Structure 1
Amino acid sequence: MKNKVDIKRTILSRFFGKMFRAGVIYILVLIVGLFWAKSMLERRTWQTWDTFYWQLHWIQDNQVVCVVLLFLAGILLLGIFYWIRLLNYFQKVMDAMEQIPAGESQIHLPKDLIEVEYYMNRIIGDIRRNEQLAREAEQRKNDLVVYLAHDLKTPLTSVIGYLTLLTEERQISPELQEKYLSISLEKAERLEELINEFFEITRFNLTHLELEKTSVSLKMMLEQIVYEFQPMLAEKQLTCELVVEPADMKFLCDSDKMQRVFDNLLRNAVFYSEEKSVIHIKATRQDEKIKIQVKNTGTEIPKEKLERIFEQFFRVDKARSSRGGGAGLGLAIAKEIVELHQGKIWAESQQGKTCFFIELYS
């Protein structure tokens, strides 16, 4: 698709090309007409009483003046004609622009403005797609709020119930008291996670991420994150294998935000990994490019969902919300952070293995 400058050049060259051709044709017609008129005057003997005798005689005596006047008159008429035509083009474009917010599905313009028609229809298509994406994102967010509101009630009800038992039943054994307190603490922690999800939604929508770059050791960063995930890994009897080549690899980044990226990817891998499987994290350098892979074995992500996992509020498994799942923001935020670092992130899933890829420039 041509850009705006190319479209302008194409239309102007076509317009002035037609105007030039019309001028050339007019000049040729004028020359032929003059030769024809001259031959008519020469082939006949004109008398003073003949019609148009004096006019033709004056034209014959002032041929140069007549040619100049006819040429200027013709050029003036052509200029006025094409100027009006150009104004009509502008009017049609203005009318077409008014149709865009009115919800018109297609714009139709004269053949001479076909490039403008294509360009405006592309804009309409982009607007419609963006509106659809915005509606889908808003619907996903509304669904998520409903899910989280429901999930907030569940642990809160449990906490209130167990604390009520502890308050009203004074004869409960120490073992039961400890059990009820443990369950209440677990539910309260889950409640805190869900509340944090609400704050995450607000932060993601209302703030713009800015980078504070420093030189960091990629291996040390990944080792620290893997160490912090040991309790979650042990819960599903998972093993995490980390390979960084070269081991002293350093790169310029916002360390806090890149840690958040790797945290989100590893958390996602843990949730979707089969028990007793291995999560592979590999980082390599090729010239100025750093490639990072996070691979896990588990349920394969369908292709139609794989293409949307980086969208806001999208979750592969919606039922996961009540089992400790997130708001569907982790991967969307990870993508934004990676792209702010002038990198890219994508995922592949096949044969029971899912791998997230990150490319960064050191």
Structure 2
Amino acid sequence: MFKRIFNNQQPISLKWKWGILLFVTLTLFGFFSSLIYQQNALNIQLNQIQANHQYFFEAAINYLESMDEPIQRTHFQSVLDEANNNDLNNTHDSTLEFLTYFESNDIVYRFFNEKQQLVYETQHINLNPVEYSDSLKRMDVNNQMALVGSTKIISENTGESVGSFQYIVMPQLFDDIKSQMQNNLYVILIGIILFALAISFLLIRLFLRPLTYLVNSLDLVEAESLSQLRVRKPRSTDEWSDLSDHINRLLDKIDNYVKHQKQFVEDVSHELRTPVAIVEGHLTMLNRWGKEDPEILEESISASLQEITRMKGLVQEMLDLMRADHVDIDYKDEITEVYSTIRQVFNNFVMLYPEFQFYLDIESDPDELYVKVFRNHFEQIFIILLDNAVKYSTDRKEIHVALSTSVTAIRVAVQDFGEGMSVEDKDRVFGRFYRVDKARSRDKGGNGLGLSIAQQLVKSYRGEIWADSVLHHGSIFYVEFPILSDTRQIYKSKQIAKHKSL
């Protein structure tokens, strides 16, 4: 693993990155927390020791103040003799009882006479003169911390000074405590490392479990049918749940896209098969024997050109349909003024089909009303609908166009009084290459892609399109777009259009 990491053959796993980061974070947090705790505990323990020895120091002072005689070395000589004879339990010397009561290797007692001459000390220690104080103070003794207290002894009976006394808590006591605390810190640090490892492993495993599941699920895309594969939504409502929803919606779109592409290829293959076969048949006939017959030659060329023209129109419609999927990206800043565009398309059809009666019904006609649609596409949508109305009109050659507005949207309706559609046809009329009457549509030059293109364009611009129809009584196609009310967006789009024209 480390060889792979250092050779940079593959990126480091997110599990390792987060795991190491979490482990280091927990370890450092635990380590510094332990240091702070240990320091506080050490200070508390030192303060407790100082308080305890302060009590002993004051008790010793009270004990020594009961003496009447000045402190002398001969007095301590008898103490030493008794101690050497190991007969401490039988002695009744008050000073001896005092020394044995406070006897400890961690404590040093020093006695001075009235002239500040050292009379006796329980352990030899080099200590400079210390100011008198009734409380123990932390001082350096041989470059180590010790507690030192020094006071003058005043006899309670005579009121005179009998000498002075020093109470010293040796550094060894503090060194032992610090050593014990340091050992405890090592044990705690080992525990913190083990705890951080366990917590990091469990948390990373828990946090990345949804991601691992997502990766494993997406790995199945190549192995299983996309239509049957979806990501299970986690129980919790959080970012993982949102990600699962987004991935499932993406899989739905991909599945729908794949199905449409497959159907699209099948339909195109089917639609092109007939004209290609016709052109091939005519060319084969001409190649065999028809070249010498001018009538057959003219008929074959005319039929071939007609089929090629139809194939050209089919290819153009397929390109329009493919481009309609990207209009929200390619034309995101385009806007169109509704009334002038509708009137222009309407007037063009009035001129092209004089045998039809066209009616335009507009509820209101403000100066400007904009939708966020590219003008060419807006025109193309209504050209398709009007052309479809013309093709499927029968005896009653009458077409109505109505435009209405609401607070947030505009709606355009195109009505014909032709063949109409059954319920089944109405549900499928926007499908690619679908024709209600395929024989009649082919005669009129239809490929069944117009309404699919219109629907895709409308949806790409966040609009809606639908149809109402009664068989043998005509159809009404509705198109609805949200009104663009942001004047800043209108101004920006106008400036962009002006710049393009320049």
Scaled to the shorter chain, the TM-score interval is 0.5 to 0.7
State whether structure 2 residue 215 is matched by structure 1 residue 97: yes
* Corresponding letter in the other structure for 2:376: D
2:403 is aligned with 1:286: no
Please list, as runs of the form range in 1=range in 2, the aligned pairs for 1:207-246 lying within 5 A after superposition.
Answer: 208-209=326-327, 210-211=330-331, 213=335, 215=337, 217-230=340-353, 234=355, 239-246=357-364
1:12-31 aligned at under 5 Å gives the runs none
Deviates more, 1:209-218 or 1:134-143: 209-218
Percent of aligned pairs with the same residue? 17
Instruction: Report if aligned partners of 1:151, 1:322 keep a CA contact under 8 Å in 2.
Output: no
Query: What amino acid is the match of 1:282?
Result: A
Q: Larger deviation: 106-115 or 245-254?
A: 106-115
Distance between the aligned counterparts of 2:257 and 2:313, measured in 1? 26
Give the TM-score, by structure 1 length.
Answer: 0.58
Question: Which is greater in Rg?
Answer: 2
1:57-95 per-position Cα deviation (integer Å, ceiling 9, x unaligned):
xxxx99xx8xx9799988776554332112213553335
Tell me how far 1:263 sits from its aligned partner. Answer: 0.7
Would you say the 8 A contact 1:219–1:247 is kept in 2? Answer: no
Is 2:270 aligned against 1:150?
no
Any conservation in 1 of the 2:389–2:415 contact (CA below 8 Å)? yes
Q: Residue type of the partner of 1:167?
A: P
1:304-328 C-alpha deviation (Å, 9 max, x unpaired): x6455445x3424383563335444
Task: From the superposition, tell whether residues 261 and 107 of structure 1 become closer, same or farther in structure 2 (CA, over 3 Å).
Answer: closer
Q: 1:343 to 1:151 in 2, by over 3 A?
A: same
SS in 2 for 1:282: strand
Are 1:301 and 1:349, in contact at CA under 8 Å, matched by a contact in 2? no
Q: Report the Cα offset of residue 344 of structure 1.
A: 0.9
Aligned length: 282
Q: 1:94 to 1:200 in 2, by over 3 A?
A: same
Matches for 1:265-304 after TM superposition, within 5 Å: 265-276=385-396, 278-287=398-407, 289-297=409-417, 298-302=419-423
Residues in 2 aligned to 1:255 and 1:112: alpha-carbon distance in whole angstroms: 46
- Secondary structure of 2:219's counterpart equals coil
Contact residue 310 and residue 331 of structure 1 kept, 8 A: yes
Aligned to 2:480, what secondary structure does the other structure show? strand
Distance 1:115 1:332, change over 3 A: same
Give 1:167's aligned residue.
Answer: 294
Distance 1:259 1:128 in 2: 31
What per-residue deviation string (whole Å, max 9, x for no partner) do you get for residues 153-196 of structure 1? 447867988x9797159xxxxxxxxxx88x98688456413322
Provide the C-alpha distance between the structure 2 equivalents of 1:113 and 1:249, rounded to a whole number of angstroms: 49
Residues 336 and 225 of structure 1, relative CA distance in 2, 3 Å threshold: farther
Higher helix share: 1
Structure 2 counterpart of 1:330, which letter? G
The separation in 2 between residues aligned to 1:111 and 1:336, in whole angstroms, is 36
Structure 2 stretches lacking a partner, 5+ long: 1-176, 485-502
Deviation at 1:242, TM superposition (A): 1.9
Q: 1:75 to 1:279 in 2, by over 3 A?
A: farther
TM-score by length of 2: 0.44
- Displacement of 1:230 in angstroms is 0.6
Q: Hey, what's the Cα distance between the residues in 1 that align with 2:455 and 2:448?
A: 12
RMSD (CA atoms): 4.8
Q: Give, as a single letter, the amino acid of the residue that structure 1 aligns with 2:254.
A: N
State which of 448, 461, 470 in structure 2 corresponds to 1:351: 470
What residue number does 2:380 align with?
Answer: 260
Q: Give the match for residue 434 of structure 2.
A: 315
Alignment-derived partner of residue 199 in structure 2: 82
Gaps of 5+ in 1: 1-60, 170-179
